[in-house]
């Protein structure tokens, strides 16, 4: 189930849990702006809406009115349809209106990104697009410190459609919007409304207690970003008219630090036992990039070719004024969101069956 389908089945819970963000916001420096958000009701979108409204901007949503339509009942909502087929698209509700800013939250299909830009480029000032670090060519992840000038995935490459689609969307938007474009490339986004299993897996292992495998030696890295931090940077970019491209990745932490923080966030007494990669290989528990990020040991990717994947540079965003929430807040937001939806909504199972994990731990102890 993808995020759109998942949250589409939990409308009642979503509406009940759509609380204002508790993050601290800066004040609007240049006065309120009229902001058009394309989408705005799924995962990152609601956080952008809340962050923008909290500092006084006037927000209008353009979407189908299907995903979580009861969110933000007091905001203006324009209904329409985006499609890779021009014949199916419907932008009529926009009329000939103009906005100071447009934020395009989700598309990885360059046809969708391009069609919106063609419709809006002469009717907005600043144009913001949410891309991803997945847009980078994979070769750039071999070394730490990948910055915004890194090479992007080619449109005709053999990479996943998501990766090359984000990269191509960026290229087409630059051609259409020019220097009025702001692109953000988040790392894996976590926190409230996240339904992916990676962070949740480690948090639930920690919270459940007992003994668990900690893969490797603890010196590989993990890098996440809180969904509220991404939203707050987008609003910062609006308020300060920041243009260009920005990596939005939290500060890297070693796997040892990551597991320690998972334990601290859940007040856990769990014991994580470090098991070397070679022994895990012997047990058939190698990391599998093909199922990333849902592997048995999420975030653990010791392959040399991915040595820098979780060590992306965030210096440009930090220098622009971006700040990050503590990991504990991200972790608790993630747990609270999934637990509040309840087991009837979320079908989650540990990707490493407990009986397999305990058998491997027993073998490691008896070696």
**Tens-digit pLDDT profile for residues 126-172:** 999 999 999 999 999 999 999 999 999 999 999 999 999 999 999 99
- Residue 279 vs residue 13, higher pLDDT: 279
What average pLDDT does range 331-358 have in this prediction?
Answer: 90
Taking the C-alpha atoms of residue 227 and residue 21, their distance in angstroms, rounded to an integer, is: 11
Q: Residue 232 above 70 pLDDT?
A: yes
Q: Residue 24 above 50 pLDDT?
A: no
Residue 195: the pLDDT is: 86
Per-residue pLDDT band at 1 (split at 50, 70, 90): very low
Q: What is the dihedral of CA 206, 208, 211, 217, to 10 degrees?
A: -20
Q: Convert the pLDDT of each residue in 258-303 to its tens digit.
A: 999 999 999 999 999 999 999 999 999 988 766 655 589 999 989 8
Residue 284: the pLDDT is: 93
Closest CA to 337 of 40, 3, 17: 17
Separation of first and last alpha carbons in the chain:
40
Ordered domains of the chain (ranges, CATH):
3-362 (3.40.50.720)
Residue 342: the pLDDT is: 82
CA distances to 3, 238, 248 from 102, in Å = 23, 10, 19
- Residue 10 vs residue 153, higher pLDDT: 153
Residue 95: the pLDDT is: 97
Q: Report residue 109 as tokens.
A: 């299909």
Over the chain, what is the mean pLDDT? Answer: 91
Residue 345: the pLDDT is: 81
Per-residue pLDDT band at 29 (split at 50, 70, 90): low
Measured in whole angstroms, the distance separating CA 7 from the mean position of its chain's CA atoms is 15
């Amino acid at each position: 189930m993808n995020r759109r389908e998942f949250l589409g089945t939990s409308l009642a819970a979503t509406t009940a849990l759509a609380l204002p963000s508790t993050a601290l916001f800066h004040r609007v420096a240049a006065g309120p702006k009229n902001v058009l958000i394309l989408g705005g009701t799924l995962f990152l979108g609601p956080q952008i809406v809340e962050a923008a409204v909290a500092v006084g901007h006037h927000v209008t949503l353009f979407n189908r009115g299907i995903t979580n339509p009861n969110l933000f009942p007091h905001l203006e909502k324009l209904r329409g349809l985006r499609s890779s087929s021009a014949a199916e698209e419907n932008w009529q509700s926009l009329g000939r209106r103009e906005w100071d800013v447009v934020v395009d939250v989700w598309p990885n299909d360059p046809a969708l990104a391009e069609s919106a830009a063609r419709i809006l480029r002469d009717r907005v000032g600043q144009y913001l697009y949410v891309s991803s670090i997945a847009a980078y060519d994979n070769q750039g992840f071999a070394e730490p410190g990948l910055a915004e000038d890194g090479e992007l995935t080619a449109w005709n490459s053999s990479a996943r459609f998501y990766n090359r689609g984000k990269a191509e969307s960026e290229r087409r938007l630059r051609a259409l919007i020019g220097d009025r474009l702001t692109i953000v490339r988040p790392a894996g986004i976590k926190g409230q409304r996240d339904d992916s299993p990676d962070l949740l897996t480690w948090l639930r292992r920690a919270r459940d207690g007992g003994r668990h495998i900690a893969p490797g030696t603890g010196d590989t890295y993990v890098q996440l970003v809180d969904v509220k931090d991404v939203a707050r940077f987008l609003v910062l970019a609006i308020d300060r008219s920041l243009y260009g491209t920005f990596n939005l990745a939290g500060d890297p932490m070693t796997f040892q630090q990551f597991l320690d923080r998972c334990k601290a966030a859940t007040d856990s007494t769990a014991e994580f036992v470090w098991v070397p990669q070679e022994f895990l290989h012997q047990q058939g528990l190698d990391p599998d990039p093909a199922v990333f990020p849902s592997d048995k040991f999420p975030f653990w990717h010791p392959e040399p070719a991915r040595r820098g994947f979780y060590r992306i540079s965030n210096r440009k965003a930090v220098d622009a004024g971006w700040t990050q929430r503590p990991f504990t807040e991200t972790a608790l937001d993630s747990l609270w969101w999934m637990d509040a939806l309840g087991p009837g909504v979320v079908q989650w199972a540990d990707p490493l069956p407990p009986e397999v994990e305990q058998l491997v731990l027993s073998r490691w102890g008896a070696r």
